[in-house]
Amino acid sequence: MFIVPKEREVPQGVVIPSPVKDNREMITSNWRSKRPYMKYLDKCNLCRNCYIFCPDGCWTVDEENEVVVWNADFCKGCLICVTECSAKALDAADELDFDGGVIRLEKSF
């Protein structure tokens, strides 16, 4: 049995923020083919499911403006957020439907 020292314990079911927040050296979104987007902002009930279920921590909550904010640099396009959105405010779209879509390469390899 593995015993975690008391000072290293983490409560179950929490999101642990990165100590450096956005690490520009770790951008991982360059293979995404679909991206989530807020299709119906008026339907968003701030349930925070996108924030809670995102495996890469790509969503933050802007408490002041009462919105969730998506960070495109680290999203891999798994679309778990879209599936878990209780209000169905999120939807998925092809990456190339957006200016600066990550699949567009400025130069070939």
Amino acid at 44: C
Tokens of 5: 């020292």
- Report the pLDDT value the prediction gives residue 21, as an integer from 0 to 100: 65
Average pLDDT for the chain: 82
pLDDT, tens only, 54-64:
998 899 999 89
Tokens of 77: 């396009």
Mean predicted confidence (pLDDT) in 44-71: 92
Three-class DSSP category at 91: strand
Distance, in Å, from the CA atom of 31 to the CA atom of 76, rounded to the nearest integer, reads 7
Distance, in Å, from the CA atom of 95 to the CA atom of 19, rounded to the nearest integer, reads 29
Note the pTM of the prediction, 2 decimals: 0.71
- Report the pLDDT value the prediction gives residue 48, as an integer from 0 to 100: 93
Considering the chain, what percentage of its residues have pLDDT values greater than 90?
43
Find the largest Cα–Cα distance for the chain: 52
Mean predicted confidence (pLDDT) in 37-53: 94
Provide the pLDDT confidence category of residue 72 given band limits of 50, 70 and 90: confident
Q: Is 83 left (phi over 0), alpha (psi -120 to 50) or beta?
A: alpha
pLDDT, tens only, 73-104:
889 899 999 999 999 999 999 988 887 766 54
